[in-house]
Structure 1
């Protein structure tokens, strides 16, 4: 989850600083930005916010469809959740490739398509985390997590320890992509891909271990 939070933070930097000044996964902020754009008569802001909202909504629906009928186990994420995360990684990879080929300065139409795609990726990730149940938590927005943590304090056990690490992951991911936007713009969209792939590898490790044990027992 910490890796996924870092990936979402990195993507938010690209989305807000490099695309159309809207967020890929924080829809509350996008609704506020949409209202501001409407109030100021800024058609560009309206278009970007609507694209992000539409992409996120479609991503949630697609993720929910892919994970329907599944519930998170106590120790690992279902196969369907891993599938959605893999699809997200592919989508982010395509976006990173397009971003790199344009030198980090895509044209207006390409930026709009990428804004929609960024929202789509974050929506799919959000749906996957909902399906994962008790073994997951929000990774694209942490406002509720922060409020709960401040009210209830540091919980005992591993869960309480990992909450501040997710906050740190968000900041670190956003900082890395923001720095790349400044110093090596063509590479700025790569961290979300790398972090999502790392998260997928870590999440899939328990299933791979069980498969190896099963094959070992079957052979014996």
Structure 2
């Protein structure tokens, strides 16, 4: 005799998903590629600091101080400050948002859209200056690039298990080696994210060489595609809510 709670067909109720779907995983991959593109522009074309890897920037700050390089100190401080501001604002905005594995919350999505807008402004400034910004413009762009990576990092933290790190992958690689490949339970999306970082940085440098004024367009395009991919689960959720 079937249990009425199991429905007329005797099927067990659907269990809630415990892992993010393909759309969210793809969105993470695209954000990783975007961060790789931003890092390449920041390090190669600005003042040789990173936009999102603050561990390296702290080390670069120490080296610049030790060498007495004022430009290096300024660049590292600008990157650290920009990242902190972007992360702090995002944290304040997403603090009350609920984290679920099926989709990214509206506050997280709003912050990612803000990142896209900030990247677009930076790309416009970069193009207007022909890909060769002066000292003051480099400082502004450095701060802005780091702020976008701060926004992205904090947004992924707020998304919880529905996301993954996109601007720093050292811990991701270590976890993959120790708990994944080493234990026989590899996450096959980790190599994809690592490859996306390489691809984003590589294509960005190629653009800097071939058409420097357009280099800022690549991270914008990748971030837009990421937001679009992340919006798919929200649209499905909205359609289900309307159909009830």
Question: How would you bin the TM-score normalised by the shorter chain?
Answer: over 0.9
Q: Give the Å deviation of 1:208.
A: 1.1
CA contact (8 A) 1:71 1:133 kept: no
1:185 and 2:212 are equivalent in the alignment: yes
Tell me the secondary structure at the aligned position of residue 49 of structure 2: coil
Report runs of 4+ in structure 1 exceeding 4 Å deviation: none
SS at match of 2:102: coil
Give the C-alpha shift of residue 156 in structure 1: 7.6
1:29 matched to 2:56? The reply is yes
How is 1:90-101 mapped onto 2 (pairs within 5 angstroms)?
90-101=117-128
- Counterpart CA distance in 1 for 2:120 and 2:99 is 26
TM-score of the pair, normalised by structure 1: 0.95
Q: What is the TM-score when the length of structure 2 is the normalising length?
A: 0.86
**1:160 paired residue number:** 187
- Cα–Cα, structure 1 residues 156 and 62, in superposed 2: closer, same or farther, change >3 Å? farther
List gaps (5 residues or longer) in structure 2: 1-27
Select 1:18's aligned residue among 6, 23, 45: 45
Corresponding residue of 1:76: 103
Greater C-alpha radius of gyration: 2
Specify the SS of the correspondent of 1:73: coil
Question: CA contact under 8 A between 1:59 and 1:124: conserved in structure 2?
Answer: yes
Q: Secondary structure at the match of 1:74?
A: coil
**Number of equivalent positions:** 216
Structure-to-structure mapping, 1:130-169, within 5 angstroms: 130-154=157-181, 160-169=187-196
Q: String of CA shifts for 1:184-216, please: whole Å, max 9, x gaps.
A: 10111111111111000000111112223333x
Tell me by how many angstroms 1:69 deviates.
1.4
| Alignment gaps of 5+ in structure 1 | none
1:175 pairs with one of 184, 202, 210: 202
Shift of 1:133: 0.4
Residue 211 of structure 1 is matched in structure 2 by: 238
